Amino acid sequence: MSMKTKSDKSTKSAPVNIISLNKICKSFPVEMGGEQQVLFDITFDVNQGEFVSIMGPSGSGKSTCMNIIGALDTPTSGTYKLYGKDVTNLTTDELAVVRNEYIGFVFQQFNLLAKRSVLDNVMLPLMYRGLPMDERIRRAREMLHRVGLENFESYLPTQLSGGMKQRVAIARALAGNPKLILADEPTGALDSKMGNDILTFFKKLNQEMGITIVMITHEFEIAQYSQRLIHIYDGRITYDGRVPRDERVLQQHQ
């Protein structure tokens, strides 16, 4: 009896793995024939509740890595498991289902429908899940309240500031109760104050709600809001660990 209890406790305390990339490589065809490899043996895991930044300069391969994590693209070789499900070789339609079920996206340019209300924008991913209208409205309003925009549901995106648009995008990402939020340069279209507000909000989501966040960035100052940093340079991981105090630590690993 005591052995069973000990085993149960061990099972409950084990971290839940959300992302598992193993020896991921990615190549693209080039005009003159042949292929150009942009990712080389990318291997890392992300557990539930982590806030991770994937950082690298332009052309480093971080966006390609993001597309694979987000089920927007597939690797040339290697394996990718998302919440224990092998998604490496899924079809385009199957990947769309994975994205809708597991991932909430927050993009640099917000990707809001300009002629639809804030409420409609937040409800959009729920429509693809086939939820009834009353449930879509309930969830969307709950998420707008969570991001502090409950009084703006009838507004159009063009009537909002950049920071408010990004909070609408975050509400949309949260509405589907995703296992993971994937944020691609989420402050790139914002001024420094609005950007800091959004990053602080991400930290709050992570710390208070336990939401797993993977953020793509090329700026060390932004990566410092996360707990862990994965640095990619020329398609390879050169650093994976706690965010260092000094960016020069990353340069030493290149």
The confidence score (pLDDT) of residue 33 equals 80
For residues 205 and 212, give the distance between their C-alpha atoms in angstroms, rounded to a whole number: 9
| 6-15, 138-147, 149-158, 169-178: the lowest-pLDDT one | 6-15
| 76-80, 98-102, 125-129, 224-228: the lowest-pLDDT one | 125-129
In the predicted model, is pLDDT for residue 126 greater than 50?
Answer: yes
CA 200 from centroid of its chain's CA atoms: 16
The confidence score (pLDDT) of residue 7 equals 44
Residue 136 lies in a domain: yes
Residue range 226-232: mean pLDDT, rounded: 96
% pLDDT > 70, the chain: 94
CA 49 from centroid of its chain's CA atoms: 12
Residue 95 lies in a domain: yes
Residue range 108-135: mean pLDDT, rounded: 90
Residue 138 lies in a domain: yes
Residue 230 lies in a domain: yes
Residue 153 lies in a domain: yes
Residue 31 lies in a domain: yes
Contact present, 232 and 59 (Cβ < 8 Å):
no
Residue range 108-112: mean pLDDT, rounded: 89
94-105 pLDDT, tens per residue? 998 888 888 999
The confidence score (pLDDT) of residue 254 equals 63
159-211 pLDDT, tens per residue? 999 999 999 999 999 998 888 999 999 988 888 888 999 999 899 989 988 89
In the predicted model, is pLDDT for residue 4 greater than 60?
Answer: no
| pTM (2 d.p.) | 0.88
The confidence score (pLDDT) of residue 253 equals 65
Distance of CA 50 to CAs 45, 205, 239, Å? 10, 11, 17
Contact present, 226 and 51 (Cβ < 8 Å):
yes
Residue 9 lies in a domain: no
Contact present, 203 and 196 (Cβ < 8 Å):
no
DSSP H helical ranges for the chain: 2-13, 62-69, 92-102, 118-128, 133-146, 162-175, 192-209, 220-223, 248-252
Q: What is the mean pLDDT of the chain?
A: 89
For residues 148 and 142, give the distance between their C-alpha atoms in angstroms, rounded to a whole number: 10
The confidence score (pLDDT) of residue 240 equals 95
Residue 2 lies in a domain: no
Task: Specify the CATH number for the domain of residue 56.
Answer: 3.40.50.300
Residue range 44-71: mean pLDDT, rounded: 94
Number of domains in the chain: 1
DSSP string for residues in 186-209: TTTTS-HHHHHHHHHHHHHHHHHH
- As to burial, measured by CB atoms within 10 angstroms (0-12 exposed, 13-18 middle, 19+ buried), residue 131 is middle
Domain that holds residue 72: 15-252
For residues 124 and 173, give the distance between their C-alpha atoms in angstroms, rounded to a whole number: 10
